[in-house]
């Protein structure tokens, strides 16, 4: 069965899956934003302690943790592009713009690129989201050397030109442009008084760790299968141990194959949709759907939830 037929079969079952209420949407946003601020203050406190192996490890983990929470904000932006985050439709635009401003990006540009990704998955001429990373060859089969290359790309900083940076376009309106500028000015002024804190717990997570997690997530989602015509075989679900999910998929969006088949299903219901789809033999037989190690990235995707 093709992805299109599977979509037709299950679409009506998933229509009623609820989005967050306005209050809950704010609480979800704060559940990521507040820990980011808390992580920065914790990092600042750790810098005041005597330097030791233990404090260095804690500082590293704190910086990575902040990066994972930034990933959470990015996942909210992603869900807002499909209007599946809040049941109050204008809030999807608001939260998309707000989270994009915090991440120094542009929601309008992200949405246009991401919707082209869904409409033309893996077609470099029309999939604008994948076209900009064509040089990283996610479409190539996953040999050991290719997996090693995907692993090393961020460690060598080769991804930063595409995955990192500041977008000062005014596509999201004057208010969010002003918010972005205010954030950047706050970072600059803070760097004069607390340079180590800003470098280790603001700049490093925002402009290196967060983009690195995004690159590796793209690999987990599509590497080795990008460009396959049938949507049922062009993405994968990552059914991995919780530490992997915490780092790469902090908002239950590890079911990327489910998301491509049913992009309007809210992230909170992706696991439920996956479990229902698993009752279908065509879906259950797909290693990409069931998280089996075949077609996966060795060493990163093992086991089931």
Containing 154, the helix (H) or strand (E) segment is helix 144-155
User: Between 34 and 233, whose confidence is greater?
Assistant: 34
Q: Does residue 180 surpass a pLDDT of 80?
A: yes
- Percentage of residues of the chain with pLDDT beyond 90: 83
pLDDT of 303 over the 60 cut: no
Q: Which residue has the higher pLDDT, 297 or 36?
A: 36
Would you say residue 130 has pLDDT above 50? yes
pTM of the model: 0.91
Average pLDDT over residues 135-163: 95
Query: Is there a contact between 85 and 263 (Cβ–Cβ < 8 Å)?
Result: no
Q: Give the residue among 257, 4, 226, 217 at the shortest CA–CA distance from 127.
A: 226
Q: Does the pLDDT of residue 272 top 70, yes or no? A: yes
Who wins on pLDDT, 246 or 210? 210
Rounded Cα gap, residues 234 and 118, in angstroms: 11
Is pLDDT of 204 > 50? yes
């Amino acid at each position: 069965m093709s992805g299109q037929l599977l979509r037709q079969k299950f679409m009506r079952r998933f229509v009623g899956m609820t989005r967050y209420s306005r209050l809950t949407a704010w609480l979800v946003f704060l559940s990521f934003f507040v820990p980011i601020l808390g992580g920065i203050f914790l990092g600042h406190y750790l810098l005041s302690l005597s330097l030791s192996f233990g404090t260095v490890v804690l500082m590293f983990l704190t910086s990575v943790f902040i990066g994972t929470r930034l990933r959470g904000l990015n996942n909210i932006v992603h869900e807002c592009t499909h209007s599946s985050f809040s049941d109050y439709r204008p809030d999807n635009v608001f939260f998309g713009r707000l989270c994009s401003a915090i991440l120094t990006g542009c929601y309008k540009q992200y949405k246009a690129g991401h919707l082209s990704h869904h409409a033309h998955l893996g077609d470099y001429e029309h999939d604008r989201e994948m076209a900009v990373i064509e040089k990283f060859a996610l479409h190539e089969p996953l040999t050991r050397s290719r997996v090693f290359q995907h692993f090393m790309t961020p460690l060598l900083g080769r991804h930063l030109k595409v995955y990192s940076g500041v977008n000062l376009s005014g596509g999201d309106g004057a208010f969010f442009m002003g918010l972005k500028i205010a954030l950047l000015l706050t970072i600059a002024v803070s760097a004069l008084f607390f340079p180590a804190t800003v470098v280790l717990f603001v700049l490093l997570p925002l402009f290196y760790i967060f983009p690195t997690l995004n690159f590796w997530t793209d690999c987990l989602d599509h590497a080795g299968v990008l460009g396959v015509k049938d949507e049922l075989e062009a993405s994968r679900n990552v059914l991995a141990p919780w530490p992997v999910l915490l780092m790469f998929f902090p908002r239950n969006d590890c079911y990327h194959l489910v998301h491509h088949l049913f992009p309007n299903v809210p992230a909170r219901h992706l696991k439920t949709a996956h479990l229902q789809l698993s009752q279908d033999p065509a879906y259950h037989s797909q290693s990409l759907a069931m998280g089996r190690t075949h077609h996966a990235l060795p060493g990163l995707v093992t086991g089931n939830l």
